[in-house]
Structure 1
Amino acid sequence: MFTPGFLFGALALLGMLSNSVETVNAQVPGNTIPPLSLDSALWIWTGEPPGIPGMRAFRKTLPEGRSRAVCVTFAIAADDAYTVWVNGVEIGDNIRKGGDPGGSAFRELDIYSVSLSHTKNVIAVNATNVVSVDGVILTGVVQYEDGSQVTFVTDASWLTAGNIPPPDRFQLIDFDDSNWAHVAIIGPVGTQPWGVLRFAPFTGKACGQSDQPVGPDGPYPLACPVLPPLPHGAKSPYWDLRHQVDCEVRRLEEALFLCQREKQALIDKLLRLFKEIGGTDFCQDIQCT
């Protein structure tokens, strides 16, 4: 069943929506990405001597802001190859570029823009060295619901599993990296043998865009989050409905980027779910008819 705090938060969100659509849409636009800079980015690795082949794991918890993080945009390169995840979801790799010691994949940073829906957000990288020197470099910007943003780069704050293959599930948010070591710094942009770097053209979708149906003012919201299991294996006939309501509250937050008509449709759907769960008396209390 719903807790009073959950219901209060959901109802408060309904009241906020009418004043927020234009402002948030202007603060975190769905069709652009923020500028990226390599000025402070550093090449990092595990601290091993160069030239040892193998896969190595790296993690970075993204900086928190005054409000909820809604988007991360970042550019990454690795010598020789990388695969990158955000919050456990694989985002991309440079294997299509060859990712080999004779290629130039490490001279061109690939750009990704990823919507965020968690309180804690983690970037995880599986970097592979084939031969000779090895390194990972990344620069990024986190955007927040209040319109603020924070930059981050590969630096000494990143963690690594060291000179072992990436552990199972290391890319997940709740993976325990408390025993991991801080990375070793190789050098800034311009360090040899990598020299001058460049950004690849951004060909993906900026935060807020998706392949789902698009309304007159923008794309439809993100997919619903996964519902956690009931405690101790308990069962409840209301759990599926709770999942739907949790989902619609999340979609209402994303509806700040939508037009009034789409926003109202989501509100109506949430109220219908309230009716199913609370019955007539509940709906009279919140005036949802």
Structure 2
Amino acid sequence: MILDSKFLLGALAFFSGLSSNIDPVNAQTGVDTIPPLDLTTPLWIWTGEPPNIPGMRAFRKTLPQGRSRAVCVTFGIAADDSYTVWVNGVEIGDNIRKGGDPAGSAFRELDIYSVSLSHIKNVIAVNATNIINVDGVILTGVVKYEDGSQTAFVTDASWLTAGAATPPDRFQEIEFDDSKWAHAAVIGPVGTLPWGALHFAAFTGKVCGQSDQPHSPHHPHIPDIICPALLPLPEGQVSPYWDLRHQVDCEIRRLEEALFLCRREKQKLFDRLIIIIKEISSFGGGDICQLANCGNEIHHHLESSTEVPIPQF
């Protein structure tokens, strides 16, 4: 017999049943809340140069991986005298707005950011600038994973630095080659003079991946990132619209990532399906060439989109 479209529809329904057993990618399981940050373990770091040398210095840290995919990083950061921070090549914020504060908030107050993640490898990059006197950067953070687990990380000797060199072009990007960079030099723990005691800036974000830190007037544009931080509302105002839009945008982007990663599994299942159809048709003398062409057409569409049109016979 020659298989008709009704049989193929049934076979594709069988495939749908198989695909429903694939574990979801980036499933949100207990990762929504903002994790607490710890100020007891981070270390002030720099390049190993003597103090009082002005200039910009580049630092990078690949975030720790867990048993499942990382979905969010929340961190607090401060620098003497200023910083700009990126996550996966996207500028997240800076403390330039605090420059000249007589209370020293630029280096005694850690700004908090929470950013969604959708890459396998995730990188934080910092451009820290010393203008005068001592220099240092300090950060404490937590990575959350799709299974609900989390891992803390801090500035320490594991961070990499370009040293006294001018920060290289695109050093913020995930795949930038930092293999020849040196390990950062540790200056001391929280409480080290002249910085003394530190504290966190006010932070009202309640959802992991949603940051409320104001951006510097020097960088008013917030880039379109995987799960972007929203512009802050005026003090005392609340807008459920912005919260909902943020959640929708995040879930759409996570779904797109999940569909992309599932294509390989889909192809394996289609391969199995074509083999089954060929075996079934062989019992009734089916047109194997026609079935093989069907398989080729499915693979062609699989390479070009996540939706596979049903071929007509």
Q: What is the TM-score of this pair, normalised by structure 1?
A: 0.69
Match in the other structure for 1:47: 48
Unmatched runs of 5 consecutive residues or more in structure 1: 1-8, 226-244, 253-272, 283-289
Residues 194-273 of structure 1: pairs in structure 2 closer than 5 A: 194-203=195-204, 206-209=207-210, 219-222=247-250, 249=259
Match in the other structure for 2:30: 27
Match in the other structure for 2:214: none
1:79·1:99 contact (CA, 8 Å) conserved in 2?
A: no
1:75·1:199 contact (CA, 8 Å) conserved in 2?
A: yes
What is the CA distance between 1:202 and its match in structure 2? 1.1
User: 1: distance between equivalents of 2:88 and 2:201?
Assistant: 23
Match in the other structure for 1:126: 127
What is the CA distance between 1:278 and its match in structure 2? 2.9
What is the CA distance between 1:280 and its match in structure 2? 1.6
Question: Aligned with 1:177: secondary structure?
Answer: coil
Residues 45-124 of structure 1: pairs in structure 2 closer than 5 A: 45-98=46-99, 103-124=104-125
Match in the other structure for 2:144: 143
2:74·2:209 contact (CA, 8 Å) conserved in 1?
A: no
User: 1: distance between equivalents of 2:243 and 2:137?
Assistant: 39
Question: Aligned with 2:44: secondary structure?
Answer: strand
1:45·1:185 contact (CA, 8 Å) conserved in 2?
A: yes
User: 2: distance between equivalents of 1:206 and 1:84?
Assistant: 20
Letter in 2 for 1:154: T
Letter in 2 for 1:222: C
More divergent stretch after superposition (175-184 vs 194-203):
194-203
- CA offsets, 1:114-158, max 9 Å, x none? 000000000000000001000000000000011110000000100
Question: Aligned with 1:71: secondary structure?
Answer: strand
User: 2: distance between equivalents of 1:249 and 1:117?
Assistant: 12
Question: Aligned with 2:309: secondary structure?
Answer: helix
- CA offsets, 1:210-245, max 9 Å, x none? 6696798982142877xxxxxxxxxxxxxxxxxxx9
User: 2: distance between equivalents of 1:34 and 1:81?
Assistant: 25
1:80·1:101 contact (CA, 8 Å) conserved in 2?
A: no
The root-mean-square deviation of aligned C-alpha atoms, in Å, is 3.7
1:46·1:162 contact (CA, 8 Å) conserved in 2?
A: yes
What is the CA distance between 1:180 and its match in structure 2? 0.1
What is the CA distance between 1:38 and its match in structure 2? 1.4
2:29·2:146 contact (CA, 8 Å) conserved in 1?
A: no
User: 2: distance between equivalents of 1:20 and 1:117?
Assistant: 10
User: 2: distance between equivalents of 1:143 and 1:90?
Assistant: 20
Question: Aligned with 1:106: secondary structure?
Answer: helix
1:79·1:101 contact (CA, 8 Å) conserved in 2?
A: no
2:25·2:258 contact (CA, 8 Å) conserved in 1?
A: no
User: 1: distance between equivalents of 2:122 and 2:43?
Assistant: 21
Letter in 2 for 1:78: A
Q: 1:10 to 1:104 in 2, by over 3 A?
A: farther
Question: Aligned with 1:74: secondary structure?
Answer: strand
Q: 1:11 to 1:151 in 2, by over 3 A?
A: farther
Q: 1:247 to 1:224 in 2, by over 3 A?
A: farther
2:118·2:257 contact (CA, 8 Å) conserved in 1?
A: no
Match in the other structure for 2:268: none
Q: 1:187 to 1:215 in 2, by over 3 A?
A: closer
What is the number of residues matched between the two proteins?
231
Unmatched runs of 5 consecutive residues or more in structure 2: 1-14, 211-227, 231-239, 263-300
Q: What is the TM-score of this pair, normalised by structure 2?
A: 0.64
Residues 137-216 of structure 1: pairs in structure 2 closer than 5 A: 137-203=138-204, 206-209=207-210
User: 2: distance between equivalents of 1:143 and 1:276?
Assistant: 28
What is the CA distance between 1:279 and its match in structure 2? 2.4
Q: 1:221 to 1:154 in 2, by over 3 A?
A: same
